[in-house]
């Protein structure tokens, strides 16, 4: 009998196991990126840190890369110091990204070696304005930094839209929801 695209309509009833959906584990796939949060932070609570750790692992499991990510969460004062030291700017910012990996041109296969400094005070201000949890805002900063290391940029309009669309795509796929509304927010984040 020739192969067709028609489903099998034989009169035999399917076995019981085929009638049942596969068991749900509700477990996110394990990230292939080792994530380490600096445990010496007083900028957020232990509960927030645990939530952020779990959410970060869930999002990073959605990208094909491997490697290592280290995250330090700071307050405005520490971020101003770091921003001045590394960028020459005497102001706070949301995230500073340090890409220590080789500059591979195949970003889907690039092994991350990344340090991030994220600002909890800035996250609190943005989360309050946008009416979502501070952990979601911090997670956005982490995803933003990782995407920079994977070749995304946000310095012209098209790149900005592409990068923030990818952030929201990943956050939605991880069950977090849209955090950065690029169509409503034209202020560039870097």
What's the whole-model pTM score?
0.78
d(CA 181, CA 185): 6
Position 28 confidence tier, pLDDT thresholds 50, 70, 90? very low
- More confident site: 171 or 29: 171
Q: Which of 170, 163, 169, 168 is nearest to 189 (CA)?
A: 163
What are 109's two structure tokens? 């296969």
C-alpha pair distances (Å), 160 with each of 7, 62, 146: 45, 21, 15
31 contacts 53 by C-beta, under 8 angstroms: no
Structural domains for the chain: 30-173 (3.40.390.30)
- Cβ atoms of 125 and 149 closer than 8 Å: no
* b/e burial code for range 8-36 (CB count within 10 A of at least 16 → b): eeeeeeeeeeeeeeeeeeeebeebebebe
* 4 has pLDDT over 50: no
Instruction: Place 55 in a pLDDT band, splitting at 50, 70 and 90.
Output: very high
The pLDDT tens digits of the residues spanning 84-118 come to 999 999 999 999 999 998 776 677 778 899 999 99
How far is the C-alpha of 69 from the C-alpha of 114, rounded, in Å?
5
Distance of CA 88 to the CA centre of its chain: 27
pLDDT tens profile 113-168: 999 999 999 999 999 999 999 999 999 999 999 999 999 988 999 999 999 999 99
Residue from 135, 86, 141, 140 nearest 116 by CA: 141
For 157-184, b/e burial (b = at least 16 CB within 10 A) is: eeebebbbebbbebbeebebeebbebee
Per-residue pLDDT for 189 more than 50? no
The pLDDT value recorded for residue 1 is: 42
- pLDDT given for residue 24 in this prediction: 40
Which stretch of DSSP H or E encloses residue 123?
Answer: helix 120-130
For residues 34 and 56, what is the distance between their CA atoms, to the nearest angstrom? 10
Mean pLDDT of the chain: 81
């Amino acid at each position: 009998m020739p192969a067709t695209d028609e489903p099998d309509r034989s009169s035999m009833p399917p076995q019981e196991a085929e009638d049942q959906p596969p068991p749900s584990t509700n477990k996110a796939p394990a990230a292939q990126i080792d994530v380490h949060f600096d445990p010496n932070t007083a900028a957020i609570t232990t509960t927030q840190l645990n939530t952020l750790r779990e959410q970060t692992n869930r999002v990073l499991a959605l990208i094909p890369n491997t490697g290592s990510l280290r995250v330090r969460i700071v307050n405005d004062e520490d971020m101003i110091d770091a921003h001045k030291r590394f960028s020459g700017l005497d102001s706070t910012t949301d995230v500073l990204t340090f890409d220590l990996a080789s500059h591979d041109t195949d970003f889907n296969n690039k092994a991350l070696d990344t340090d991030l400094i994220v600002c909890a005070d800035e996250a609190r201000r943005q989360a309050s304005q946008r009416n979502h949890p501070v952990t979601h805002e911090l997670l956005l900063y982490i995803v933003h930094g990782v995407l920079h290391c994977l070749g995304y940029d946000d310095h012209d309009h098209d790149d900005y839209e592409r990068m923030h669309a990818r952030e929201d795509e990943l956050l939605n796929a991880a069950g977090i929801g849209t955090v950065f509304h690029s169509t409503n927010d034209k202020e560039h984040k870097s």
